[in-house]
């Protein structure tokens, strides 16, 4: 019935105020955001299993030059974790979702990569960084 119509996936920093239009708020970081209480975050769930591994997070270190490599490696981690993806898709069946994250960089973070993966699959959405086919 709703095969092509997908509920929206929004992104929001954990330090921003929740809003009625957020829908279901899901924390997708592996570590709880510093200085944010559970009451302030107002998350429906903490989907720790969808966070990148500690090794990948440390390797990436929020370096935009490593963004495409991060996305590819994170996609491989997501593909190896179908149960966690199924949990996220379960929320999406119920309606709009906001992926909540703590990173300062609003363009290069795991929530952006996760949203793009869910919406577009393994291939990167929109951006191409010059060559783009191999990975290092």
80-122 pLDDT tens trace: 999 999 999 999 999 999 999 999 999 999 999 999 999 987 6
Q: How many residues does the chain have?
A: 136
Does 128 score more than 90 pLDDT?
Answer: no
8, 23 in Cβ contact below 8 A? yes
Mean pLDDT across the stretch 14-34?
96
68 or 133: whose pLDDT is higher? 68
Report how far residue 127's alpha carbon sits from residue 45's, in angstroms, rounded to the nearest whole number: 30
**How much is the CA Rg of the chain, to the nearest whole Å?**
15
The token pair at 46 is 């903490």
Phi, psi of 98 (to 5 degrees): -115, 120
**17 phi-psi bin (left φ>0, alpha ψ -120 to 50, beta other):** beta
Please tell me the pTM assigned to this model.
0.84
Q: What is the pLDDT of residue 123?
A: 53
């Amino acid at each position: 019935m709703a095969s092509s119509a997908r509920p929206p996936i929004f992104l929001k920093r954990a330090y921003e105020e929740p809003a009625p239009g957020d829908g279901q708020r899901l924390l997708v970081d592996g570590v709880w955001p510093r200085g944010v209480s559970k009451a302030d975050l107002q998350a429906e769930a903490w989907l720790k299993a969808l966070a990148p591994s500690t090794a990948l997070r440390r390797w990436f270190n929020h370096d935009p030059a490593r963004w495409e490599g991060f996305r590819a490696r994170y996609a491989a981690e997501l593909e190896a974790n179908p149960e966690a993806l199924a949990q996220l898709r379960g929320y999406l069946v119920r309606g709009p979702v906001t992926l909540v994250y703590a990173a300062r960089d609003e363009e290069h973070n795991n929530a952006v990569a996760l949203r793009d993966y869910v919406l577009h699959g393994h291939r990167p959405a929109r951006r191409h960084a010059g060559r783009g086919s191999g990975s290092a």
